[in-house]
Amino acid sequence: MKPVIQVEHLSKAYQIGQFGTGTISRDLERFWMTKVLGKADPFLKIGETNDRTRKGNSDIVWSLKDINFEINQGEAVGIIGKNGAGKSTLLKLLSRVTGPTTGEIKVKGRIASLLEVGTGFHPELTGRENIYLNGAILGMRKKEITRKLDEIIDFSGVERYIDTPVKRYSSGMYVRLAFAVAAHLESEILIVDEVLAVGDAEFQKKCLGKMGDISKGQGRTVLFVSHNMAAVQSLCSKGIVLENGSISYNGAVEGAVAYYLKASNDNAHRVWPHQDGPQTDFLRLLEVKVLDVHNEIALNHLISNEVRIEFTYEITKEGALFTHGLNLFNNHNIHIFSSHDKDSETLLKPSVKGIYTRTIRIPGNLLADGGYTCSFAIMRYEPFQVELHEMEIVGFTIIDELDSTDIRGKYTGRIPGVVRPLLEWQ
C-alpha cells in the first residue's frame, strides 16, 4: 500500500496572551534576527511542551511538536485525544487553513475537509445556489457539481425546498444539505471533524454509513476526529492518540481507544499531600477520587454503572456544624444537578478533629454519555452559608457502547439529551 499522507517533523507554535503593545518592535527584532542575521527566532523556545495545566515561561505554546506519521491509501484513521491535545491544529494544518511552524506534510491526491459543514452558506441564497457556492468553496468545479446535483439533493432529502432560501430551513435541513455537498466531493482524502454531533439520529446513521462507504467501498482515505469512541471504533481501522501535542499511540484502533481511555485517568484523582488543598477555617480537603463499582479509581464509566465520588478531608477545628454538596456539569458547561448531603451526621454533631471520608453515589443509567466535571462544596445551614466551593475538582467520562442494550435496545444511533435515565413505558 502506498502512503497518501506523510507527515514529517511537523510542529506548530501559537503565541498566547496579548497581541498589541510592543508587537511592532518585536516583529522588527524578529525580522532582524531571523531574516537578516539568519539566527533562530528569539521568541520561540524549543523544549516546552503544550500542557495547559502548567504555566510555561514563554508566551509561545507548541500546539504540535515534532509529529511524524504516515497514512496509506484507503485507510480510515481516527485521531483521538483530550481537548487541547492538538487534534484541531493537526486538522487545520492538513486542510491548509493555517501553515505549520516547522516540518512538512506531503499529500497525494485532493484533500477535502469537513471541519464544519455548511461553511460559506449564504442565508439569502436558495438551497440549489448554496450547493454550488459551498461545493466551489470546497474545491469543486461548476460542471462537477452540476453532474452530482441530483445525487446531492437526493442524499440531503430536502428536494421540496431546494429553491427556497436556506434562511427558511430548519437547522436540521441546513445540516443535511451541507453534509450532502461535502460527502459528494471527489477527493481522495476526506477529513471529518465531529460532524456527527449534529442532525437527527436517522441522518447521523446515514452519515456514518456514507463515511463507511467512502473509506471501505471507494478506497478513499478518511481522517476522522471525534470524542465519540464508539463511532471511531466502528469507522476506523487505525487510531492515532495525541497528547499535549505529541503522538503517544499510533496503531490499530482498538489499541488506540484503550490507550486513550487509560491515559486520561489522572482527571479522576486529586490529592493534596502537603496540606495545601482547598480549605475553610475548620476543614481542609486532602483527596478526591472518582471510583468505579469495584472501588477503583477510574475516569471512564459505562453508562449503566454507578459512579462514586469519594471526598477525604481533615477537620482542623472542633465544634462546627456543616454539610457537603456537589454540583455536576457536563462538557458544555450545563449544570446537570446540585446535591446537598442533607442527612449528614455533621449537621447534628459538632465536628471533632480527625480525617473523614464521605462518598456520593451517582446511579447508573442516569447520565448521558460524555465528559463531566464536578464541584465540591462545604456549607453551613443556620444561617445558610457556603464555606467552600471548589470548581472542577474532578472529572469523569460516561461511555455508551453501541452494543449496550439497557437503554438503547437495538438502536445504534446517537441519543440526544443531557441525561439518559432508564424509564419505564407502559
3-state secondary structure 127-158: HHHHHHHHHHHCCCCHHHHHHHHHHHHHHHCC
CA atoms of 108 and 99, how far apart (whole Å): 18
The reply on whether position 15 binds other proteins by CB under 8 A is yes
- DSSP assignment of 190-248 equals EEEESGGGSS-HHHHHHHHHHHHIIIIIS--EEEEE-S-HHHHHHH-SEEEEEETTEEE
User: Of 218, 220, 257, 227, nearest to 239 (Cα)?
Assistant: 257
Closer CB to other proteins, residue 157 or residue 165?
165
Which residues on neighbouring strands pair with residue 70, listed in sequence order?
6
**Number of shown-chain residues binding other proteins (CB under 8 A):** 47
The reply on whether position 286 binds other proteins by CB under 8 A is no
Closer CB to other proteins, residue 99 or residue 417?
99
Closer CB to other proteins, residue 104 or residue 318?
104
Closer CB to other proteins, residue 19 or residue 384?
19
Which of 11-19, 298-306, 333-341, 369-377 is the region at the interface with other proteins (rule: CB under 8 A)? 11-19
Closer CB to other proteins, residue 108 or residue 216?
108
In order of 127, 162, 177, 181, 214, the CA distances from 157 in angstroms are 12, 10, 8, 12, 19
The reply on whether position 104 binds other proteins by CB under 8 A is yes
Q: Which helix (H) or strand (E) holds 286?
A: strand 283-291
Q: For residues 141-160, which are near other proteins according to CB under 8 A?
A: 141-142
Residue recorded with cell 506548530:
12
Nearest approach in angstroms of CB 217 to other proteins is 23
Residue recorded with cell 468553496:
137
Nearest approach in angstroms of CB 27 to other proteins is 8
Instruction: Report the DSSP pairing between strands 300-302 and 385-399.
Output: parallel
Q: For residues 165-204, which are near other proteins according to CB under 8 A?
A: 165
Nearest approach in angstroms of CB 90 to other proteins is 12
In order of 71, 88, 110, the CA distances from 5 in angstroms are 5, 17, 11
Closer CB to other proteins, residue 113 or residue 300?
113
- Contact criterion met (CB below 8 Å) for 234 and 76: no
Residue from 106, 147, 335, 353 touching other proteins (CB under 8 A): that is 106
Residue from 38, 124, 333, 349 touching other proteins (CB under 8 A): that is 124
User: Of 97, 141, 101, 82, nearest to 300 (Cα)?
Assistant: 82
> Under DSSP, is residue 43 helix (H, G, I), strand (E, B) or coil?
coil
Nearest approach in angstroms of CB 114 to other proteins is 9
Which of 19-27, 206-214, 256-264, 305-313 is the region at the interface with other proteins (rule: CB under 8 A)? 19-27
Residue from 101, 187, 305, 323 touching other proteins (CB under 8 A): that is 101
Q: For residues 24-83, which are near other proteins according to CB under 8 A?
A: 24, 27
Residues that bind other proteins (CB under 8 A): 2-3, 6, 14-15, 19, 23-24, 27, 92-111, 113, 115-116, 119-120, 122, 124-125, 129, 132-133, 136-139, 141-142, 165
